[in-house]
Amino acid sequence: MAHKATIKELAEAAGVSVTTVSQILNGKGDRFSSDTRKKVRDYQKKLNYVPNFNARNLILNNAKTIGVLVPNIGNPFFSSFIAGIQRVSREFEYLPFNFSGSNDPELENYYMKRLISRGADGMIIASSTITSETLNDTLKKNAIPYLLMDQSPLSDGDQVRTNDTLGGKLVADHLLELGHRNITIVMPENATDNILYRVKGFKAEIVAQDAQKVCHVTTIYRPLTKKGGFESAQAVVDSQATAVFAINDEMAIGLYRGLTQLGYQIPTDVSVIGYDGIDLDEYVSPALTTIQQPISRMGELATELLINRINNPRIEQQVVELPVRLIQRSSTTAPKI
């Protein structure tokens, strides 16, 4: 059981040539006698022959592999996203390899290079800190199709996106309607474009309604993590806001802890709304009001588009926009008077 059989050995054992074996095993053996076909198949089982992937791939040059780069698998958003990718990949008989870049450009570059050297046919990049340098040098130069998440609608590659502007607007609508006039946004300093659009949509709506509803908006910058949300609590309190727009659910959940620790009640003392729609939202207390993105669908679609691009390199830019919607739960209410 020491060693793997080669096609040559199989051919010898069956008393035929390697061509015969290759053709038959690859479904192109119609022209051979059913006798030979059977013989080859029998010996295959007997020797437990499995084609050497490397040798095969060296010729065919399609590894049926896609690389996936996310910033942080710990965020349930990305595990759902990956689940979607895994599902569709299997459907198309691709194998997705995913890595957590941990917001470290060097690490991302490292994984990217490995993936490419291993013949990845394409990449899904959901990592914000990827540098355009890496992109150009590593992907474009190697002619590897890729799909960027969370990036500017103006980029020229294939895209799966959600309407972040609308999402921001929905947040504003909801909070204004509840009667909030002093709102604080908690977001990261170097925000990705999609987040900037969220904020933009939000602010635009505030301005649009300003004629009737004079409103004050504060912005607090913290890292895009539970910890970041947690640590923003004091600043949120200081801002005297009656409602907080946490730019994603992770931050919102961190904020929960921070506010609670400072003795504030949600939503009685301050309303909190998140963004993403991770499944945890229903489990925290109070259940988190949020803007829901169809996360795993985003992963599925990204995979579909990418595979389509791999198979048809020359088609036009593919852009799909998925809907977002407000899920009202228990973390937002009218402000105290």
Binder among 44, 79, 127, 128 for its own copies (CB under 8 A): 79
Q: Pattern of binders to its own copies over 153-192, x per CB under 8 A?
A: ----------------------------------------
Cβ atoms of 262 and 231 within 8 Å: the answer is no
DSSP character for 147?
A: E
**Measured from the CB of residue 227, what is the shortest distance to its own copies in angstroms?**
9
C-alpha atoms less than 13 angstroms from C-alpha of 40 in its C-beta half-sphere:
23
Structure tokens at 123: 């990449």
List residues bridging with 161 in a β-sheet. 321
How open is the CA angle 147-148-149, to the nearest 5 degrees? 125
Element (H, E) at 218: strand 216-221
CA atoms of 202 and 155, how far apart (whole Å): 22
Cβ atoms of 216 and 183 within 8 Å: the answer is yes
Sign of the CA dihedral with 223 first, then 228, 231, and 236 last: positive
Q: Which stretch binds its own copies (CB under 8 A): 3-11, 25-33, 209-217, 241-249?
A: 3-11
Q: Pattern of binders to its own copies over 236-255, x per CB under 8 A?
A: -----------------xx-
In degrees rounded to 5, what are phi and psi of residue 156? -95, 5
Site for DNA in 15-54 (CB under 7 A): 15-20, 22-23, 25-26, 28, 31-33, 35-36, 49, 51-52
Nearer to its own copies, 57 or 308 (CB): 57
76 binds DNA (CB under 7 A): no
280 interacts with, out of its own copies, DNA, none, CB within 5 to 8 A per kind: its own copies
Residues that bind its own copies (CB under 8 A): 1-5, 47-48, 50-55, 57-58, 63, 73-74, 76, 79-80, 82-83, 86, 90, 95, 97-100, 107, 110-111, 113-114, 116-119, 137-138, 140-143, 226, 230, 253-254, 256-257, 260, 279-280, 282-285, 287
